[in-house]
Structures are given as C-alpha cells and as structure tokens.
Chain A
Amino acid sequence: MIWEVFRQEKSGDYHKHCGNVHAPDREMALLFAEVQHGRRKPTNSLWVTPQKEIGEVDTEDTAFGGTTDKSYRWAMTYNFEAAASEVEESESEQATADRERKAQIEGGS
C-alpha cells in the first residue's frame, strides 16, 4: 500500500507534501516516513495518509479564481496610501500572489 507523506518543518508551519512510501499499515508508514523523509531536513512532525484517500481538483478541471475580471477584490486596485503597516503588508502579499497567478496563467498550458 502507498502512503503519501507530509512534512512540517517547525511547529506552526503547514505540513507540505514531500513524497510517499510503501507500508502495510499506518504505524509502519509513519516509521518509514521518518526514516526516508525526516532524517536530514528539519522536521517537527510528519503526516501519512493512504494515497487512495487523496482527492484532487486541478487546472484541467476548473479555472481557479474564476474567469471574470475580479480586480475589485485586490487591494492594489484602490489607489490610496495604506492606512497602516498591516494594510500595506497585506497589499504587498496580494500584489505578489497576483503577479505569480498571472505568470502561471500566461506560462501555463
């Protein structure tokens, strides 16, 4: 049986997919994940889940974020000086995400 492995680098981080292992049950899947994926890179926690249990939707199935112009939901659209540093930070995160998303759409299939 194949188990997908997710590694969390430090407490509070997200668990990110890092590979998969063969194992007959959950306990051994955790043990094998520990040996194969938790030895060198910083690891605070590992998750395993049977591969069959993973559901997926991807860009072939759907257009993430829709296809209509949704510029109204981006902070960059509103041309005022940010009222506070946390607003500015949020806007900068949105600008980065928007850039990456556009690059993905242009560069993608």
Chain B
Amino acid sequence: MDIEEVKQRAGPREFSPKDEMPEEYRKAATRMIQFHANSEIMGAYLEKPFIRQAPSLDRKLAFSAKVQDEIGHGQLLYRAAESLGIKTRDEMLDELAEGKGKFLNCFHYPMESYVETPMIAFFVDGAAMRRQATLKSTSWEPYAHAMDKVCFEEGFHVKHGEAILYELMTGSKKEQEMTQEAFEKWWPRIIQFFGPTNEKSTHHGFASEVGLKQMSNDDLRTAFLNAYIPKAEKYGLEIPDEPRISKNDDGTYEVVEEDLDWDEFFTIAKNDYEPGVGQINGRKAAQDAVEWVRESLDSHENRLYGSSQPQAAD
C-alpha cells in the first residue's frame, strides 16, 4: 500500500498487521504508540511511592491497583507498537532506560507530597483519558484495541483522583492551602500536556492524515478545559491568573502561549530537564535490578523453543 492509498482509506481501525503498510506510516505509528507506552510506565513510577505514603489502607490499595493498571497499559501498548514491525519491546524499554524514549511532559516532574497526587490522578489522567477516548478510533487496529481496555480501566483512576481532591479540599484549612499551592504549580504543566498550538506541532499533519490521530491538540485542550475548569472550581480551587485563558463565543478557549514556559517544555521533550532525568534514571535502576528475571525467562524460552525474539513477520 502506498501513502496515498493509506490517506484515502484512513478510518477507525482500518489497518492491522495483515496490511502491508508503508514504512512512513509504521514509523509514525511506532513513534506515537511508543510515546504513549513510555508515558504509562513513567506515570506508574511517579505514583508508586504513594502506595506507601497514602494515608489510609483504602488509598494504598487503590494506588497499588492503579500502578498495576498503568504498567499493564504499558505492556498492551508496547505490543501494539511491536506489531508495526519497527521496534521490539526490549528495544523500546532500553531506549526508555537510556533516556532516548520520549514521554509526557507531566511525568518528568517528581511528586514530592501527597497533596500533589490529585494533580496527576485527576487532572493529568483526565486529560490523558480525553485523548485516549478519541484514540479508540485510531487507524491502527491493535492501538484501538488497547484503548478499549485502557479506557475501561481509566475511569476508576480519574474517579479515584477526584475523590482525593474532594477529600483534601474539604479537609483542614492547611490541607486546602497546600492543595491550592500544588494546583498552581501543576496547572501550567497540565495546560502544556496538550502541547503547543497546532502550527507548532511537527507531527500532527501526517498522523492525522493517516488516521492515527483523531483530534487536534487545540480541540483536545478545549474539551479538557470545558470539563475540568468547572470541576476545579467546584472543589474550591482557584484557577491561577497565568496562563491567561479566555473563552471564545464558540466555546473554544484561547490560551496565551507566552505565559507558558516553552523553553522548559522543549527541554523536557529532549529528556534534558534535570528532575526528569532523575525520573528516567530511577526507572532504569528498577529495570537493571530485575535484569536477572528477564535473562532467566529468555534462556528458559531459548531452551524450549530455540529463540526468544518475536517473529520477524510479526
């Protein structure tokens, strides 16, 4: 199939490993799904410490279930990416460990305090779920299948995050103040979650022409703001003055881009942002620590079947 035919046929779940897809499509889809898979893994590691730090048994159990879910989503997505035949799961995991794998801006910032958890668990996950819901109709079928399961589980994550936010914002004055402070710290990052406006996004055009991406960053940001600004206000959070956000008559939002730190954003995008490097190295240490498990699984498989590599024609 050539690119013109791909663009013509591009529709929800249109292409699968049975189709001979041009390399340009397979590379673009790999880049997108690998980014998504990496983000699931890095998000899980970000929240992992709060299994211990959460203040009640219920919260610990919920965080533990959620972290398991996110790792599982990573696994599903690496499978969907592998099915494009560009990279194996091992290669993608190694790239992530070596600081070459890219992932969401918000997961480069460490979380230091429990009051920060709803910023990830409610707002970032809410933003992610908005995007994931649209990806149920991406053109790469294995990716869409993964989204069915991811969205099925993600509902609990966002609700859990909202429950923590509610609890904190109806708690002591001190808790409310700390939560507002955390919100002010995270809000600009959350707005940047959707990336720069369309003109600046380099990959959007092609990904949307071949049906991989279903909605533009601007539309996703608008949908997110429409749903989550009222929620934030409902729980008594004050929306920070910056970035300046104004609502147009047609329901869309205008975000004043100069109010956001794009230098930091693009440093993060290159995996050069210092706290983020710590996050990457932290996960690398975990990967190294269980290298012996992977090795023994691989040698076991070799003994049984002669090879542990996924089939070339996979």
Q: B212 to nearest A CB, angstroms?
A: 20
Give the docked Cα–Cα distance between A89 and B21 (Å): 44
| Contact B89–A58 (Cβ < 8 Å) | no
Chain A, range 1-37, C-beta contacts under 8 Å to B: 1-2, 18-22, 24-25, 28, 35-37
B297 touches A2 (CB 8 A): no
CA distance A107 to B149 in the complex (A): 26
Residue-wise interface mask of B (285-314) relative to A, using a CB-CB cutoff of 8 A (1 in contact, 0 not): 000000000000110110011001011001
Which of B28-36, B72-80, B203-211, B245-253 is the contact stretch?
B72-80
The reply to whether the CB of A44 lies closer than 8 angstroms to some CB of chain B is no
Residues of A within 8 A of B297 (CB): 24, 28
Write the B134-154 contact mask toward A (1 if CB under 8 angstroms, else 0): 000000000001100100110
Instruction: Check if B18 is an interface residue, CB within 8 A of chain A.
Output: yes
Please tell me if the beta carbons of B308 and A36 are within 8 angstroms of each other in the complex: no
Residue pair B76, A52 in contact (C-beta under 8 Å): no
Query: 8 Å CB contacts to A: which residues of B112-149?
Result: 145-146, 149
Name the one of A19, A24, A25, A40 contacting B76, with C-beta atoms under 8 angstroms. A19
Q: Which residues of B contact A (CB under 8 A)?
A: 18, 72, 75-76, 79, 89, 145-146, 149, 152-153, 297-298, 300-301, 304-305, 308, 310-311, 314
Interface string of A30-52 (1 = CB under 8 A from B): 00000111001100000000011
Cβ–Cβ < 8 Å partners of B310 in chain A: 1-2, 22
CA distance A56 to B17 in the complex (A): 13
User: Are the C-beta atoms of A25 and B152 separated by less than 8 Å?
Assistant: no
Contact A19 B79 (CB under 8 A): yes
Q: Which residues of chain A are within 8 angstroms of B304 by Cβ–Cβ distance?
A: 24-25
Other A-B pairs beyond A19-B145, A19-B146, 17, CB < 8 Å: A1-B301, A1-B308, A19-B149, A20-B79, A24-B300, A24-B301, A24-B304, A25-B300, A25-B301, A28-B297, A36-B72, A36-B75, A36-B76, A37-B149, A40-B153, A51-B311, A52-B311
Measured between beta carbons, the chain A residues less than 8 angstroms from B75 are 21-22, 36
A22 to B79, CA, bound (A): 8
Among A2, A22, A25, max chain B CB count under 10 A is at A22
A residues contacting the other copy or chain, number (CB 8 A): 19
Query: Bound state CA distance, A18 and B145, in angstroms?
Result: 8
Chain A residues near B146 (CB-CB < 8 A): 19
Chain A residues near B308 (CB-CB < 8 A):
1, 24
Could you tell me the distance between the alpha carbons of A35 and B75 in the complex, rounded to whole angstroms? 11
Contact B311 A2 (CB under 8 A): yes
**Assembly CA distance A35 to B71 (angstroms):** 11
Q: Do the beta carbons of B314 and A51 come within 8 Å of each other? A: yes
Could you give 14 example pairs across A and B, Cβ below 8 Å? A1-B301, A1-B305, A1-B308, A2-B310, A18-B149, A19-B146, A22-B89, A22-B310, A24-B301, A25-B300, A25-B304, A36-B75, A40-B153, A52-B311
The residue that B314 contacts in the complex, of A2, A18, A28, A40, with Cβ under 8 A, is A2
User: CA–CA, A63 to B300, complex, Å?
Assistant: 43
Q: Which residue of B lies closest to A17 (CB)?
A: B145
| Shortest beta-carbon distance from A12 to chain B in Å | 23
CB proximity of A30 to chain B, nearest CB, Å: 14
Q: Which residues of B contact A19 (CB under 8 A)?
A: 76, 79, 145-146, 149
- Inside 8 A of B18's CB, which chain A residues have their CB? 56, 58
Chain B min CB distance to A105 (Å): 17
Complex-state Cα separation, A106 to B233, whole angstroms: 49
Docked CA distance A35–B69 (Å): 10
Return A28 CB to nearest CB of chain B, in Å.
7
A24 to B297, CA, bound (A): 6
A56-B18 Cα distance, complex, nearest whole Å:
10
